Each structure stands twice: as C-alpha cells, then as structure tokens.
C-alpha cells in the first residue's frame, strides 16, 4: 500500500509542490497518505473531513470504505459531524463528558431509532388535544407542523384515521427517521422539542 498511498488520496499530480503551498484539504489528504505508508491494520482519524470540499468529502468516504472492504483496515473515526459519521460507520460509540452512552453496530442503532410523524392539519390546537387524549406524545413545531414519535407505519394510519373521524383535515403526513444527531441529543439530554 505504501506505493499507492499518494494515488489513493489523489495527490500524485501535486507531488512536486511544496507542502506549505497545499490547501488545508490537501494537507488532510497528505496526512492520510502518510498514515497509510506503513500498511496499517488500524487507522485512527480525528475529524478527517476538516477542510475538504464536498467532492473531497465524497472521495474520502469512498477511500475509507475501500480500505475497510478491500484491505481489511479497521478505521476508528472521531468526528463531531454526525451526519458524516452516519454515512460511513457500521459501528458507533457515543461518548458524553467521558461517559459511554451507546456502543454497538450501526444496525443496532437503527433498530433503536424511533421515527417521527410530521403532520400539517387545519386545526392544530384541536389535533394536539385529541392526540394527547388518546395517549400520543405530540409537539407543535415552530413552523406550525406537529411532530410525534411513532413506532411503526401503522401508527401513521391510526393517527390519520383518528383525526379524520373527529373532523380535523390532514394536509400533510410524512414519516421521518431520527438522525444520529437526534439520537446523540436525546442520549445526552440536550434535545429540546423536535423541530
């Protein structure tokens, strides 16, 4: 892999340039190339997408997947960009102030994720009251929509039927999955109302 490191991180065309002339993203890729020189079995990366443009982020994602899949490299990635972690990780660990809050496979995480039902109705106050009377946890978002956690798709049908039976017109009904960021905020107690 040592010979391929500059090619893997797409720096061969710039190999004759002085490092001090490299952009931040190029320096990030150079650091990764140096780390790959010894053909490691474990690669520890801290905020590896820092300074990369969208194309560079995409290329890095592909490179990490290739290293794992084709070369058997274990990649330990630390990042505050949870949407990015969500796209590349198959195992996740959530730490908060030194406390372990979650550790497991990405599939285990997905199984714990509760979805949200987002509703827009003609009479939001009536809908909130009605849904709460029937045991649903519902919040009014700042954009006027209603948000409520649901367990499965049949919950959406039940909510729609209940509102319709009581004369509340539903204009919009969509299911959203909670993101890794939302899970982190819930786990750390920092999630206010979902909006």
Pair (130, 78) in one structural domain: no
Instruction: Supply the pLDDT for residue 194.
Output: 41
Question: What's the rounded Cα separation, in Å, for the pair 178 and 186?
Answer: 10
Q: How confident is the model at residue 58 (pLDDT cuts 50, 70, 90)?
A: confident
Pair (38, 85) in one structural domain: yes
Q: What is the mean pLDDT of residues 66-94?
A: 86
The answer to whether residue 166 scores a pLDDT higher than 60 is yes
How many CA atoms lie less than 13 Å away from 6 in the CB half-sphere?
Answer: 7
Q: How confident is the model at residue 2 (pLDDT cuts 50, 70, 90)?
A: very low
Q: Within a domain: residue 105? A: no
Domain that holds residue 29: 5-89
Q: Within a domain: residue 148? A: yes
Q: How confident is the model at residue 4 (pLDDT cuts 50, 70, 90)?
A: low
The answer to whether residue 6 scores a pLDDT higher than 60 is no
Q: Within a domain: residue 182? A: no
Pair (77, 147) in one structural domain: no
CA distances from 98 to 75, 76, 94, 183, 188 (A): 21, 17, 10, 17, 12
Q: Within a domain: residue 192? A: no
Pair (122, 166) in one structural domain: yes
Query: What CATH number is given to the structural domain containing 119?
Result: 3.30.70.260
Lowest-pLDDT choice from 49-63, 105-119, 135-149: 105-119
| Residue of higher predicted confidence among 43 and 9 | 43
Q: How confident is the model at residue 112 (pLDDT cuts 50, 70, 90)?
A: low
Strands (E), 32-184: 42-46, 74-78, 91-96, 99-105, 115-121, 139-140, 146-150, 170-177
Pair (66, 138) in one structural domain: no
Q: Within a domain: residue 106? A: no
Pair (122, 67) in one structural domain: no
Instruction: Supply the pLDDT for residue 1.
Output: 47
Report the predicted TM-score, pTM, of the whole model to 2 decimal places: 0.60
Pair (79, 151) in one structural domain: no
Q: Within a domain: residue 183? A: no
Q: What is the mean pLDDT of residues 133-146?
A: 89
Q: What is the mean pLDDT of residues 42-68?
A: 86
Pair (11, 82) in one structural domain: yes
Q: Within a domain: residue 27? A: yes
Q: How confident is the model at residue 149 (pLDDT cuts 50, 70, 90)?
A: confident
Q: Within a domain: residue 164? A: yes
Query: What CATH number is given to the structural domain containing 30?
Result: 3.40.50.300
Q: What is the edge-to-edge ordering of all strands in the sheet holding 115-121?
A: 139-140, 146-150, 115-121, 170-177
Pair (84, 9) in one structural domain: yes
How many domains are contained in the chain? 2
Pair (78, 120) in one structural domain: no
CA dihedral 52, 84, 148, 151 (to 10 degrees): 160
Instruction: Supply the pLDDT for residue 189.
Output: 72
Lowest-pLDDT choice from 59-63, 121-125, 151-155: 151-155
Q: What is the mean pLDDT of residues 34-58?
A: 86
The answer to whether residue 193 scores a pLDDT higher than 60 is no
């Amino acid at each position: 892999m040592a010979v391929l490191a500059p090619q893997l991180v797409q720096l061969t065309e710039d190999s004759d340039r002085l490092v001090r002339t490299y952009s931040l993203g190029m320096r990030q890729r150079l650091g990764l190339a140096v780390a790959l020189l010894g053909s490691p079995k474990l690669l520890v990366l801290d905020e590896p997408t820092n300074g990369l443009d969208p194309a560079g982020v995409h290329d890095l994602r592909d490179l990490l997947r290739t290293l794992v899949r084709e070369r058997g490299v274990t990649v330990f990635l630390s990042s505050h960009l949870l949407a990015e972690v969500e796209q590349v990780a198959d195992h996740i660990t959530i730490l908060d102030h030194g406390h372990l809050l979650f550790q497991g496979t990405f599939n285990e995480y997905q199984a714990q994720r509760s979805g949200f039902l987002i509703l827009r109705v003609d009479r939001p106050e009536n809908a909130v009251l009605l849904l709460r009377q029937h045991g649903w946890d519902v919040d009014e978002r700042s954009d006027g929509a209603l948000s409520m956690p649901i367990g499965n798709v049949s919950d959406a049908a039940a909510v729609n039927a209940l509102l319709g039976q009581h004369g509340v017109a539903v204009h919009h009904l969509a299911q959203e999955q909670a993101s890794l960021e939302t899970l982190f905020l819930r786990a750390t107690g920092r999630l206010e109302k979902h909006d």
